[in-house]
Amino acid sequence: MRANRRTDTKPEMALRRALHARGYRFRKDYRLDLAEGKRVRPDIAFTARRVAVFVDGCFWHACPDHGSRPANNVWYWEPKLRRNVERDRAADAALTAAGWDVVRVWEHESLDAAVTAVLTALDRSQTPRRRPLRPVSSPSNPPGEIRARGPRPADVERIPS
């Protein structure tokens, strides 16, 4: 099983390419440390909008339509695949509790459907948070006072014409 990839699968890369071509920027395989010591690694994470995207393989995540059940070594594969699904549900619950929107896409879904699902979640999500203002010290602004960068109109010297 060493050859099975955890990241950069073909469906995941196709989705990332499509989102990037539309101008969206994101983190890939980004580790999120959530409350109570839970860690989740979404395939694609939009951190500012708090949207986590998972591209699930039909076999590994027991797709109801295309997931096949192995005939050999059933004693090993049944519990393993069941644990994968349970881990997915636990990750979804932890992310939702932390205020994230979770999108799960099956590898058999068309690229257009997957992009539409992600874009719908991004539209539903909150707008990105702006950075807080940084202290700017100047003669008219004592240290520690917070205001936007740049001079105010009253502070600008006028050059006579």
The pLDDT of residue 129: 53
Above 70 in pLDDT, residue 28?
yes
Read off the amino acid at residue 26: F
The pLDDT of residue 36: 85
Above 90 in pLDDT, residue 160?
no
The pLDDT of residue 140: 60
Above 80 in pLDDT, residue 106?
yes
Give the residue with greater pLDDT, 59 vs 67.
59
Contact of 103 with 52, CB cutoff 8 Å: yes
Predicted confidence band of residue 55 (pLDDT cuts 50, 70, 90): very high
Predicted confidence band of residue 70 (pLDDT cuts 50, 70, 90): confident
pLDDT (mean) for 146-150: 52
Q: What is the model's pTM?
A: 0.74
CA gap 64, 73 in Å, rounded: 21
The pLDDT of residue 54: 96
31-35, 56-60, 126-130: which has the minimum mean pLDDT?
126-130
Give the residue with greater pLDDT, 152 vs 97.
97
The pLDDT of residue 3: 61
Exposed (0-12), middle (13-18) or buried (19+): which is 12, by Cβ within 10 Å? buried
